[in-house]
Amino acid sequence: MRGFLTSSIGVASAAALSLPLVLSSGAGAATTPSAARALTAAAVSGSTQSLPLAVLARDRGLRAPGEQGLTRRDVHPFSLVGVIWKDPAAVLEGSVQVRTRATGTARWSGWQDLETHNADHAPDPGTAEHDSGRLRGATAPLWVGASDGVEVRVRPQAAPAHQTAGPSANSANSAAQAPLPKGLRLELVDPGDEPPPGGAPAEVPGSGVLTAESAAASAVNADLAPLGADIIPALGKKETESELIEARGGEADAKVRPYIGPRPRIVTRKGWGADEKLRESNFSYTSKVKAAFVHHSATGNNYTCSQAPSLIRGIYRYHVKSLGWRDIGYNFLVDKCGNIYEGRAGGVAKPVMGAHTLGFNTNSMGVAVLGTFGSSNPPAASVDALARLTAWKLGLYDVNPSGKTYLTSAGGNLYPKGKSVRLNAISGHRDGFATECPGRRLYDKLGTARSASASLQGR
pLDDT at 64 over 90: no
pLDDT classification of 208: cutoffs 50, 70, 90: low
Average pLDDT (48-65) is 84
pLDDT classification of 403: cutoffs 50, 70, 90: very high
- Using pLDDT thresholds of 50, 70 and 90, give the confidence band for residue 197: low
**pLDDT cut 90: percent of the chain above it:** 69
3-class state of residue 298 by DSSP: coil
Asked if 139 contacts 120 with a C-beta cutoff of 8 angstroms, the reply is no
What's the count of helices (H) and strands (E) in the chain, helices before strands?
10, 19
Query: Is pLDDT of 422 > 60?
Result: yes
**Cα-based distances in Å from 185 to 27, 49, 84, 221, 323:** 49, 10, 5, 37, 11
Q: Residue 132 — pLDDT band, cuts 50, 70, 90?
A: very high
pTM greater than 0.75 (yes/no): yes
Digit-coded pLDDT (tens) for 443-453:
999 999 999 99
Dump the DSSP string for 342-373: E-SSS-TTS-B--SSSTT--TTEEEEEESS--
The strand pair at 266-267 and 340-342 is best described as parallel
Q: pLDDT digit string (tens) for 318-361? A: 999 999 999 999 999 999 999 999 999 999 999 999 999 988 99
As a whole-number percent, the residues of the chain with pLDDT over 70 amount to 80
Question: What was the pLDDT predicted at 195?
Answer: 67
Question: Per-residue pLDDT averaged across 101-119, rounded?
Answer: 91
